């Protein structure tokens, strides 16, 4: 049986850690690619990871490269390329530089792996995945963004910490853009089947939601020289697994919504069914009046971000 071919573009902390998770779980053979200026770096990281395989007992093959030809005919491509956030920077501050990087990467993907499912991680996420879809011309189901899995994981972590319960018993959902306008869905949040609103009062819950929105910035401020990578990489690996194993996972991702939720052709975080064909279905929920208003506010922020990106790229 042929192993899945997984390419990770960007061999920094997120990319290399994603390769680690994917290799350890034997999700497929992995190509770790980075830009030519760092020619030896991806090879060094790949070799280091391969030398861990006898210890942990995984058979995934891992190679490092600067040549897109080595990524040809990939089944899944994870795009982490771009400059990371530094203290004081918002995700939106990365817009111009990362939009150009994603454009270049998308052109290469289009030429070398026309049938791949592409998972974008680069920030600002919602605009970057929109640009990737535009550049590749792939079917909308084949291009998506990793944000909701990470945001929901942070939310679940903070809820478990607050209640002193197992993380396994927390079920939660966040929607909308990846950033300060992300939208918690209390009606879809529970602990062991108990609605979260019966366990945490509304004021405290809003404080936890606010910490979730600022979860990435909190880590940036603590690290001082970089941004989060363990959890983002783990979230990527979960999405890769959903594709290569055709898991039909119900998870929140940045997916193109047209008629869905009345979005009108933009990538925003929504619950989907994810399998071998990528985003196989967008799940439309009946939201409360407040959830609907908050979601629309988040969509409007994404639209403004995309418009700003398009203006910058046209200069």
Write out the catalytic residue numbers: 178
Residues 6 or more apart in contact with residue 93 via CB below 8 angstroms? 85
Using CA atoms, how far residue 195 sits from 56, 150, 171, 186, 208, in Å, is: 39, 21, 10, 8, 16
What's the first-to-final CA gap in the chain, in angstroms?
49
Residue 89 CB: number of other CB atoms within 10 A?
15
> Does residue 11 sit in helix, strand or coil?
coil
Question: What residues are paired with 191 via a beta bridge?
Answer: 170, 194
Q: What is the DSSP string of 222-245?
A: HHSS----HHHHHHHHHHHHHHHT
Contact 185, 285 (CB under 8 A): yes
Rg of the chain taking only CA atoms, in angstroms: 19
Q: Are 8 and 30 in contact (CB under 8 A)?
A: yes
Contacts of 70 (CB under 8 A, 6+ apart): 31, 33, 63
Tell me the CA distances in angstroms from 7 to 46, 62, 146, one per residue in order. Answer: 12, 10, 15
Rounded to whole angstroms, the Cα distance separating 202 from 149 reads 23
């Amino acid at each position: 049986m042929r192993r899945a071919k997984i390419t990770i573009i960007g061999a920094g902390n997120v990319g290399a850690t994603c390769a680690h998770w994917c290799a350890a779980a034997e999700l497929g053979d992995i190509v770790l690619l980075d830009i030519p200026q760092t020619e030896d770096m991806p090879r060094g990281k790949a070799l280091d990871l391969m030398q861990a395989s006898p210890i942990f007992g995984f058979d995934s093959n891992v190679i490092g490269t600067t040549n897109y030809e080595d990524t040809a005919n990939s089944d899944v491509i994870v795009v982490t390329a771009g400059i990371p956030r530094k203290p004081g920077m918002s995700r939106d501050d990365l817009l111009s530089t990362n939009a150009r990087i994603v454009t270049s990467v998308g052109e290469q993907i289009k030429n070398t792996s026309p049938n791949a499912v592409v998972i974008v991680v680069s920030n600002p996420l919602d605009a970057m995945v929109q640009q990737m879809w535009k550049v590749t011309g792939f079917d909308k189901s084949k291009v998506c963004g990793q944000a909701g899995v990470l945001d929901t994981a942070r939310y679940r972590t903070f809820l478990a910490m607050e209640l002193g319960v197992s993380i396994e018993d927390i079920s939660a959902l966040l929607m909308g853009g990846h950033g300060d306008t992300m939208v918690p869905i209390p009606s879809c949040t529970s602990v062991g089947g108990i609605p979260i609103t019966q366990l945490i009062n509304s004021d405290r819950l809003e404080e936890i939601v606010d910490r979730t929105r600022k979860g990435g910035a909190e880590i940036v401020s603590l690290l001082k020289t970089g941004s989060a990578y363990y959890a983002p990489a783990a979230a990527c690996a979960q999405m890769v697994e959903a594709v290569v194993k055709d898991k039909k996972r119900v998870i929140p991702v940045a997916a193109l919504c047209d008629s869905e939720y009345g979005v009108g052709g933009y990538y925003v975080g929504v619950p989907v069914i994810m399998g071998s064909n990528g985003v196989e279905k967008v799940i439309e929920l009946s939201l409360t009046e407040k959830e609907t208003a908050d979601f629309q506010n988040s969509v409007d922020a994404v639209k403004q971000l995309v418009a700003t990106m398009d203006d910058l790229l046209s200069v």
